[in-house]
Amino acid sequence: MIFSLVGLPGSGKTTVGRQLARRLQLPFVDSDHAIEARLGCSIREFFEREGEARFRDIEQEVIDALTQETPRVLSTGGGAVLRSANRQHLRSRGRVIYLKSTPEELYRRLRHDVHRPLLQVADPLTRMRDLFAERDPLYREAAHFVLETGRPSVATLVNMIVMQLELAGVVPRH
């Protein structure tokens, strides 16, 4: 089974995904890292050089490939849901957990992060609000489970995810 994490940048997909993978004793893959390995450069560099549309083409190919290999925990890039093919592959080939955070919480976490190309703008909080408005419906469309992240610890979030998966009969109860 593939367990994919979706959500806005900074929602905890990679951090929570690593711990969830450890807990479920599954391999962990970050789609952004897989994309960078394929590109041979950072996403930010590629974004600046080739543009978002070309990046999304590569991302779609990588997500298609990663959702065919099982089992694993997969952390996706924040914009992976922008392509309907990605939403379809993620949803039909595994279970999708949407780590839902408010734009204000994400801004608080990310305000000093210079490695996220979409946030290198004059007003990052407004940008986060715009991203949330655009992407929240798409995350919901892809997701089997929606988890409000708020401020609990990573361990608490992992416990909440595992409990949801157990209640849904997706993983055996411990």
DSSP 107-142: HHHHTT--S-GGG-SS-HHHHHHHHHHHHHHHHHHH
Domain assignment present for residue 158? The answer is yes
Locus of tokens 């806005």: 8
Across the chain, what does the average pLDDT equal? 92
Is 149 flagged in the annotation as binding? no
For residue 83, pLDDT over 90 is answered with yes
Domain assignment present for residue 125? The answer is yes
Domain assignment present for residue 11? The answer is yes
For residue 167, pLDDT over 70 is answered with yes
Is 79 flagged in the annotation as binding? no
Is 23 flagged in the annotation as binding? no
pLDDT score at 162: 96
Is 116 flagged in the annotation as binding? yes
Domain count, the chain: 1
Is 113 flagged in the annotation as binding? no
Which two structure tokens, joined as six digits, stand for 168?
């849904």
Amino acid, single-letter form, for residue 20? L
For residue 171, pLDDT over 80 is answered with yes
Is 101 flagged in the annotation as binding? no
Give the range of the structural domain holding residue 28, as residue numbers without chain letter: 2-166
Sign of CA dihedral 22, 91, 130, 123: positive
Per-residue pLDDT reduced to its tens digit, 5-35: 999 988 999 999 999 999 999 999 999 999 9
Domain assignment present for residue 173? The answer is no
Per-residue pLDDT reduced to its tens digit, 100-126: 999 999 888 877 776 666 677 788 889
Task: Answer whether 76's CB lies under 8 Å from 94's CB.
Answer: no
Q: Enter the DSSP assignment of 168.
A: T
Angle, helices 52-66/43-50, rounded to nearest 10 degrees: 130
Is 15 flagged in the annotation as binding? yes
Is 173 flagged in the annotation as binding? no
CATH assignment at residue 66:
3.40.50.300
Locus of tokens 């890039």: 77
Average pLDDT over residues 52-79: 94
pLDDT score at 118: 66
Average pLDDT over residues 57-78: 95
